Chains A and B, each alone.
Chain A
């Protein structure tokens, strides 16, 4: 589903440059639920940016579902993001002035789906994450776990092939974290590939395999993380 071949990325820092990702090789198969671990500064975010088509890379090749993602115009990048990818973030990033239903419906707005239609679909997805009753509530009226479930519903609504989750449990307590992970597993069972970036071992342990990233290099693929 995701294929990264010899991905290199460096940033200019002052006069020199910082080589963040070094020949990253990585494959994620369709229907996998994997985690990426690494300390801060390991290149996790950069990798996520590239996988999320939020940033370009310097050399190598990156395929999503056999489509080469390289040198895209901003508009194309936006369209691919919208079609292939769903995002879940640590700080939920719900728009504070929109209610749960409107937040969930937002990706469909960018697909130019009519208002009535997309709100209907949004309620269906909220139902899936168990928050149908909260459809009309603003994010400030929801708990952290509820917010993240709304965010997951939002990531799912455009029926993406891959969900990229950046520290999805970072702001949640243990119980809620486990609930969210259960939800991810449930979504994964429906056939959606999920990549979770985390620094929590017990969260990584709940995925099928973990990729360790250190100083821009993939250290190991661990399939039997315990």
Chain B
């Protein structure tokens, strides 16, 4: 391998056939480049969707009311189902349920005020468990707690953007803790500031205790949405829980348990699994397409090496007459083909990763929701490179063996 003479001859051979060598190299370069870029793009799509799911707990189940479509026990279809805090409590006590919260959004047009500044935000009345279900990350202070619910405190947890919009000259967001904001002209004490992976929209939220809102806004225990997480992160377990919730609500609200429109139950883990299966399939397709692209390049190398052997028949004959062993001939041809594939492959790899990093830096500047971090991990890059070197060897093998079989006398007489 580290025979200087052999390398000199390889470089010379490449130098003497610049165009041919470059075209061959481009075939390989393109193959590996496309493989890397496509894998990166696939990863980007996958990570983008994973990221979207990350905002909410993957194993969460969301329940919202609907309208019955099937008649049941003499009752006509078309009845609106209204859930209450009792429904929530019954589901929350189920064994398979881990966390749970009701969630009502404050309705109507209203503004939120702090001192002179006014803006409008979404206000959500929830329980403390909401923090886990929507993956809310506290920056300062705390989220809602059980005492807030129990004592119906007028407290609020606000997003970072809310602070930015309502507070003047705030260097440190911690300074917002303990101040008051007014929602529909009622004062709420700020107890926490949060951030959220779900993006800008999630940062414009304000959380207040459900019990407080229930009393002030006269909900009469009505609940507009219930959210739970299953005890186990398992599709079957969460499917079973979904059915139990449906059955529970059906028996209380007198609707057909098979009526899918009476209540809407969104099972995120099922969706998540479905998405992951889809991306698994996309990844396989990408590998297949990529490897075939690469294969085209490798066949190109094989072709070129055959031509090289043909052209150098005489030289190989001379070498054999002078005492070259078959292996020294084979290794000469093999090394040239492996060298071309490795160098071209390496540049393809670097260029592919470069393009992905470039896209990534653009995405970081303006994050899109469906496409994220389109990079490949180092292991995949290494595997691809190893495949490439092996293939380079295979591509050179047939021509090299042909070269080793050259009959010296015939080759040398060949003018």
* Contact string against A for B residues 298-334, beta-carbon threshold 8 Å, 1 for contact and 0 otherwise: 0000000000000000110111111111111000000
Q: By the criterion CB–CB under 8 Å, are A111 and B327 in contact?
A: no
User: Which residue on B lies nearest to A151, using beta carbons?
Assistant: B318
How big is the A interface, by class?
20 to 34
**Alpha-carbon separation in the docked complex, A113 to B408 (Å):** 23
**Alpha-carbon separation in the docked complex, A112 to B322 (Å):** 13
Q: Is B288 in the interface zone, CB < 8 Å from A?
A: no
List A56-103 residues whose CB lies under 8 Å from chain B: 74-75, 78-79, 81-83, 87, 89, 91, 93, 95, 97
List A170-184 residues whose CB lies under 8 Å from chain B: none
List B339-395 residues whose CB lies under 8 Å from chain A: none
**Alpha-carbon separation in the docked complex, A70 to B318 (Å):** 22
Contact of B412 among A91, A109, A158 (CB under 8 A): A91
Q: Is A162 in the interface zone, CB < 8 Å from B?
A: no
Q: By the criterion CB–CB under 8 Å, are A89 and B412 in contact?
A: yes
Given known contacts A74-B326, A75-B325, A75-B327, is B320 in contact with A95 (CB within 8 Å)?
Answer: no
Q: By the criterion CB–CB under 8 Å, are B318 and A93 in contact?
A: yes
Neighbouring A residues of B237 by C-beta, 8 Å? none
User: Which residue on B lies nearest to A87, using beta carbons?
Assistant: B321
Number of B residues, CB within 8 Å of A: 25
User: Which residue on B lies nearest to A93, using beta carbons?
Assistant: B318
Q: By the criterion CB–CB under 8 Å, are A54 and B407 in contact?
A: yes
Neighbouring A residues of B404 by C-beta, 8 Å? 74
User: Which residue on A lies nearest to B12, using beta carbons?
Assistant: A97
Q: By the criterion CB–CB under 8 Å, are B322 and A107 in contact?
A: yes
**Alpha-carbon separation in the docked complex, A88 to B304 (Å):** 31
Q: Is A110 in the interface zone, CB < 8 Å from B?
A: yes
User: Which residue on A lies nearest to B16, using beta carbons?
Assistant: A97
Q: What's the dominant secondary structure at chain B's contact region? A: helix
**Alpha-carbon separation in the docked complex, A158 to B404 (Å):** 22
**Alpha-carbon separation in the docked complex, A49 to B410 (Å):** 9
Neighbouring A residues of B314 by C-beta, 8 Å? 93
Q: Is A45 in the interface zone, CB < 8 Å from B?
A: yes
Q: Is B5 in the interface zone, CB < 8 Å from A?
A: yes
Contact of B321 among A45, A54, A74, A79 (CB under 8 A): A54
Neighbouring A residues of B321 by C-beta, 8 Å? 52, 54, 81, 87, 93
* Contact string against B for A residues 147-159, beta-carbon threshold 8 Å, 1 for contact and 0 otherwise: 0000000100010
Q: By the criterion CB–CB under 8 Å, are A81 and B323 in contact?
A: yes
Jot down 18 A-B pairs with beta carbons below 8 A, ordered by A: A48-B409, A54-B408, A55-B407, A78-B325, A81-B320, A81-B323, A82-B322, A83-B323, A87-B321, A87-B322, A89-B412, A91-B413, A95-B315, A110-B322, A110-B328, A111-B323, A115-B4, A115-B5
User: Which residue on B lies nearest to A111, using beta carbons?
Assistant: B323
Q: By the criterion CB–CB under 8 Å, are B16 and A107 in contact?
A: no
Neighbouring B residues of A74 by C-beta, 8 Å? 325-326, 404
Q: By the criterion CB–CB under 8 Å, are A109 and B5 in contact?
A: yes
* Contact string against A for B residues 1-20, beta-carbon threshold 8 Å, 1 for contact and 0 otherwise: 00011000000100010000
User: Which residue on A lies nearest to B322, using beta carbons?
Assistant: A107
Q: By the criterion CB–CB under 8 Å, are B318 and A158 in contact?
A: no
Contact of B409 among A54, A79, A154 (CB under 8 A): A54
**Alpha-carbon separation in the docked complex, A111 to B324 (Å):** 9
**Alpha-carbon separation in the docked complex, A140 to B320 (Å):** 22
B314 to chain A, nearest CB (A): 7
Q: Is B171 in the interface zone, CB < 8 Å from A?
A: no
Q: Is B415 in the interface zone, CB < 8 Å from A?
A: yes
The 9 tightest CB contacts between A and B, nearest first, are A82-B323, A110-B323, A78-B325, A74-B326, A93-B318, A107-B322, A87-B321, A75-B325, A54-B408
Neighbouring B residues of A20 by C-beta, 8 Å? none
Given known contacts A74-B326, A78-B324, A93-B314, is B408 in contact with A106 (CB within 8 Å)?
Answer: no
**Alpha-carbon separation in the docked complex, A111 to B328 (Å):** 12
User: Which residue on A lies nearest to B321, using beta carbons?
Assistant: A87
**Alpha-carbon separation in the docked complex, A93 to B312 (Å):** 12
**Alpha-carbon separation in the docked complex, A111 to B12 (Å):** 22
**Alpha-carbon separation in the docked complex, A148 to B404 (Å):** 26
User: Which residue on B lies nearest to A95, using beta carbons?
Assistant: B315
Neighbouring A residues of B315 by C-beta, 8 Å? 95
Which of B16, B321, B324, B413 has the most C-beta atoms of chain A within 10 angstroms of its own C-beta?
B321
**Alpha-carbon separation in the docked complex, A89 to B410 (Å):** 12
Neighbouring B residues of A115 by C-beta, 8 Å? 4-5
Neighbouring B residues of A111 by C-beta, 8 Å? 323
